[in-house]
Structure 1
């Protein structure tokens, strides 16, 4: 079976189509995989398709979704924690970062990934977050243990087909922050927020000088204070949409976190999940849900 095709169900492109009432890919998949042939509701189709991916094609989406369910929602609470996806740190993008009272980076290396860039990635992440984990498949474990033996600044987790994560090595607490690197992660509203918090007002300078002025303020802070400010603004300005995520089935939690979905599309996705119960009927009108709402 082509499980890579099945994974397309969970892409941003297909989720946008679902929000627009286009279930063509969903219906094609429902009729192409014997294990999904009897599934009728859209919500159940995503759930059953996700189970197949967990067993046969544990790609990055699957691992991020496991982290979202087991750590963000299972250990923490969306009221007190935020999960950030693809967070730029220097020349790299951290796969997942969860910010609660502390910041934890989760760099994912699936069975389909190479470890070639990992040392460079770890150098950036272990300079920016309180703790850093590499979340991996068993196939990479021996190689990762060798890397960790030489570079003991990160921990290791292993994901499995039962949607579980096991800690093999606990990540140490970082005490060596690179504030210059961290600052370049921040958006304008975030670094201005920090400058205002530190000095009591927004810097009085031309817009062309604002970035440099705010960077000087941030980098002059004690590293512990800089880290606290860094976590505060990321958690606040990039907080998750709790209501949307809570209404998604377990298989779709990560898309509610990782994808930039317009408010109207979010409403349409939830409506489709609640109302689409005719996936396998030949006369199904894939636009009927949204047309009915517009009438």
Structure 2
């Protein structure tokens, strides 16, 4: 098949539908195609790309690592195409309510400071902001936009990337004066390590040791449900914590939190996305306006 005859956006839409709906039959039904037609198209894509995207079984489809990466790119490309079409045909003034769900640190340090500018730019858009570190179902919660950190799992959600942020282990000057500054992994293991009270997709404490990344469990006798609480505890000298730089950057610059063991920092990063439900028709102007503003103005270290 020549390059000029390949409908890439159409192929991507079929591939995304197959992943989102968990099978060729469900995707075919939604798109008005035959299951065999969907299967053959995905097979042709794999042949053209030279990689296996999906592992098939009688019960389910499973993404290969290459397929997972390709799926994420497809979602973004399709969102960009839809956005371009909306911009070309948009004329309506953004108006109405938009409910935004964000984790507590991002909400306090990144989202809320953007509200004055967002309101000035779109005065007819009414914002309902919910801050929680709990992962919510957008449809069940009635949320229009949610902020998600980390790897996005395949779903029916669409996403726009806001940026990436690294981590640092930090403690207050008072804590370090009382307990000393750790200079090695062995010394760090003897310190109070503040952490979350729930399991995260990426372990909270990761450090380099002899060229390998190792993880440490919390040890402070205090756990918290959100990063802002951990930041507050660290500022109060309860222990060390490891948080995103976008969260603690101002404290580091002010000297109220001090990075430690930077030579053992694995320099891992966490990606932040704004996610939203796909719409059968054009995305409402009120939601598009909020997404555009976030993409334009959110900055992450």
Question: Could you tell me the TM-score, scaled by structure 1's length?
Answer: 0.25
Tell me which protein shows more helix as a share of its residues: 1
Tell me which protein shows more strand as a share of its residues: 2
Question: Could you tell me the TM-score, scaled by structure 2's length?
Answer: 0.25
